[in-house]
Structure formats: structure tokens, C-alpha cells
Structure 1
């Protein structure tokens, strides 16, 4: 009996350690993004810890800073914004662990698979930022300087809110227990594959909203916070069902207003 209790305690400790590292990583990502803010005065002596490099990642023009620094910024942004939105799914997986179906290594593998998908999205987002910056369509803060691009991004995100793919992915995000029942695979390798599928479903929900960073600015912390809150609430079964349509209408209205203002200003 004592050995059994010890094993259960050890498993629970392992899961708690994974949770601790998960949340510490999110806090670290937000902290690094804050340190990279343009115009931030860092305390004297911090240069020895490397914050000057972190701050330089996005203070220069993305077209001249190089791909890897921009990728680092996008990866931090994805971790800071998207990892919190998957907490309900991870909690569901952990609850399964109390019945012996999941383990600490499985939880870690699930998180790794999920983040791998968003790292791939970050690679594409960073490439897009560097490319658009090279054409003069993105300013040094990652904001679109072209009216047509702003309108297109807002219209795309708005229209996607009404798409069947968005709804299908959102349904899976809102029902993590059903997701795991449909895709369950045992062991850490199976958890990693489930993490990839969970990441793909999450990407299907949120990619268009994430691209609005080009409208607000890829280094805009206020946008990151609001977008994270919106995407988290969208994944809540009750609240989420009431948000999708209003958000879509608001984004489409924003696209129309952007075009209207540009036309009236030109005339």
C-alpha cells in the first residue's frame, strides 16, 4: 500500500513539475517580449545579461534585422499568446492521468507537440514579416503601412469567423474530452502525436486572428494580451459560442471602415 501511494505521489509530483515549467515558460516569454519593447529604458548593468540583444531583435527593421531574430520574436509571441489558450485541454489530459491514462512525460510530450505546430506557424509568420518589410509594406514595429493589406487582413479574419473549418476546429477546442477520446494514443510518443493534432486544431481556430498582429504591430503587447484573452474565451464552450459571430462582424466592419477612410482621405 505504501509503495502504491509512493508511486502515485511521484506521478503527481512529475505532473506538477511539468505544469510549473509550462507556466514559468509563459511568464518568461511575456517578460522577454516586454524587454524587447522599443524605447524601453533598461536598468544600468543589465547589458551583461544580454537584454541589449533581446531589445535589438525587433527594434530594427525586420527586413535588415535578419530572419532568425524575427523568428525568435514570433516564437516568443506564439508561446506567450497561444500556450495559455490550451490550458483547458492540458487540464483534461491531466485529469485523465489521475486514472492512470496519462503521465508527466506524456503531458510534457503533449505540450511539445502542440508548441511544435505553433513554432512552424512562427517560422512562416517571420518569413512573411521579413518579406513584407523588404517591400516596404511593414514598418519597424511590424505594422502594415498599406491600407489594402490592413483591409485584406481584417476581411480575411472576419470572413474566416463564419467558415466551416473555423467552426469544426473550434468545436474540438471547446470539447477537449471528446478530442482525446477520438484521438487517444498511449505513451509519450502517442501524446506527442496528439499534441501535434491539438496544435493543428488550435491553428485552425486562431491563425487568421494571429495575422492581425500585422495590423496592430507584431510588438504590440496590448494587442497580444487582448488577442490571447479573445482566443481563450472563444475556446470556452458557453462564452465561445456567443463570440464568434460578433467578432466576425466587427472585423468585417473594420475592413470596410479602413477602405472607406482611405477613399475619403484620398478624395
Structure 2
């Protein structure tokens, strides 16, 4: 706790809660893995319920369960990517521009946006599963769908909207100064705006979960690292375009491979 206080003076309890929440989300996602076996007698406890979400089709589990799963994914994957922005806002407390409560309001606003995304993504997953385009692990069964999502994500990497949102994420101090609103309500609105910017930056990459599988921890970890690095100014400037090229090649390959036998 003392080390945390030195790193985050004045807000150590809030940051402890933040990191504990992210760790809890990752732990829950791990417990939900289909191959994860619980000790005897734990079936009626919380982890047993989490595991049951992946026992069958997400369409059978229901919309609330799908929202819970996507909410955990959003917290586990997206909260760490916004940590530099949260830390920048936290540092403003030393200038009396922000407080612990306003920081909590900022983070809450950010997470509310991703909760909204979780509702949309859950609904989309259920519909795609009902049409037979996703299997029980939330992974695409269609080359067209997989390739299409990869190509859309690739093209979006080069769009003006992506560049604008990414620029805001890479320069949080400029973002806060440009849109500053005082007080806890102002911080909440600022968090909503930050969440919207982050959503504009990362939604296409998040939907690639339908290609790798929504319960694929390796994809979640890799995507979190890539999106975090992309938001770092010096690294992101060198990463965004190559990532787009890679995704386009991957998407084109996925679409083209099934057609190759018909060409010969």
C-alpha cells in the first residue's frame, strides 16, 4: 500500500480498487474457460455460474449472460489501455484541477461507454449464433464473416475517424485541456467523452473477438497489448499502419483460400 501511495499519491485506494477490478475481470474470464475445471463442491458458487456461461451456446445462455461476458471482456481489455489517460487526469489533482471523486467519476463515465458497447456486442453475438455464423465459443464458422471483419478492421485503421480518435487517446493532456469541465459531473461527462473516443479507436479491433473466439484468452491478451501500444504516441505512430496491412492480408487470405480449389 505504501508503494502504491508513492506511485499514486493521494489516490492509492482508488487505484487499488481499479487494479483489483481489472484483475478480477481477468480471473472471471479465466474461470469461464470451457477447459477450466473447478474443485469438487464449488459448482454452486459464483465461479460455477461463470463456467456455465460457456457450457453451451450463448444464445441459450441468454442476453444477460452475454452482456456479463462482454462487460468482463471490456473491463479486462479496455480499462488497461486507458490507464495513461487516467494517470494524466490523476496528476492534475496536484494542480487542484481534479480530485479523487472526480477521478472516480471520470473512470465511471469511461466504463459506462464500454458497458453500452457490451450490450450491442452481446446482442450481435446472439443474433449471429442464431443464424449459425458463430459456434458455442463465439467463433465465426463463416470464412466470409471472418474475412469481412478482418478487412473492415484493416480499412478502419486508415480512416480519418480512427486517426482522430487515436490522436486524442495518444495525447490525453491535450484532450483534457480541450474539453475540460469542472466538478464531479464535469468529470463524468469528460469520462463519457473519453470512452466515446476510445470506442471510436478500438471497436473494430474488439469485434475481431468473433474471429478468434469471444472466450479466447490469448486473443484478449494480444488485443489488449496491441491497443495499449497503439495509444502510446511514439509506438502507436509506427504500429497502426502495419497492423492495418497485416489485417488486410489476413482477411483477404481467409476469404480467398476457400475459392482457390475452384480456380484449378
Q: How does 1:190-209 map to 2 (within 5 A)?
A: 190-209=186-205
**Aligned match for 1:85, one of 81, 84, 89:** 81
Alpha-carbon distance between aligned partners in 2 of 1:265 and 1:25, rounded to the nearest angstrom = 49
Alpha-carbon distance between aligned partners in 1 of 2:175 and 2:116, rounded to the nearest angstrom = 22
Whether 1:238 and 2:234 are equivalent positions in the alignment is yes
Partner of 1:62: 58
Deviation track 1:168-217 (CA, whole Å, cap 9, x = no partner) reads 00000000000000011111110000000000000011000000000000
Partner of 1:5: none
- The alpha-carbon deviation at position 14 of structure 1 amounts to 5.6
**Aligned match for 2:43, one of 44, 47, 59:** 47
- The alpha-carbon deviation at position 114 of structure 1 amounts to 0.1
Q: How does 1:72-111 map to 2 (within 5 A)?
A: 72-111=68-107
**Aligned match for 2:11, one of 3, 15, 29:** 15
The more displaced of 253-262 and 149-158 is 253-262
Whether 1:157 and 2:183 are equivalent positions in the alignment is no
- The alpha-carbon deviation at position 265 of structure 1 amounts to 4.7
**Aligned match for 1:30, one of 23, 26, 29:** 26
Normalised TM-score (structure 1): 0.94
- The alpha-carbon deviation at position 59 of structure 1 amounts to 2.5
The more displaced of 77-86 and 62-71 is 62-71
- The alpha-carbon deviation at position 58 of structure 1 amounts to 2.3
Whether 1:171 and 2:167 are equivalent positions in the alignment is yes
Q: Once superposed, what is the RMSD of the aligned Cα atoms?
A: 1.3
Partner of 2:245: 249
Alpha-carbon distance between aligned partners in 2 of 1:218 and 1:210, rounded to the nearest angstrom = 10
Alpha-carbon distance between aligned partners in 2 of 1:62 and 1:146, rounded to the nearest angstrom = 17
Partner of 1:6: none
Gaps of 5+ in 1: 1-8
Whether 1:226 and 2:222 are equivalent positions in the alignment is yes
1:58 and 1:69 in contact (8 A); partners too? no
C-alpha change, 1:265 and 1:129, in structure 2 (3 Å) is farther
Normalised TM-score (structure 2): 0.95
Whether 1:182 and 2:182 are equivalent positions in the alignment is no
Gaps of 5+ in 2: none
Alpha-carbon distance between aligned partners in 2 of 1:213 and 1:82, rounded to the nearest angstrom = 13
Alpha-carbon distance between aligned partners in 2 of 1:52 and 1:100, rounded to the nearest angstrom = 46
1:37 and 1:59 in contact (8 A); partners too? no
1:58 and 1:73 in contact (8 A); partners too? no
Q: What SS is found at the alignment partner of 2:11? A: helix
1:58 and 1:70 in contact (8 A); partners too? no
Deviation track 1:56-84 (CA, whole Å, cap 9, x = no partner) reads 11221012111110110000000000000
Alpha-carbon distance between aligned partners in 1 of 2:34 and 2:153, rounded to the nearest angstrom = 27
Alpha-carbon distance between aligned partners in 2 of 1:233 and 1:217, rounded to the nearest angstrom = 22
Q: How many residue pairs get matched?
A: 257
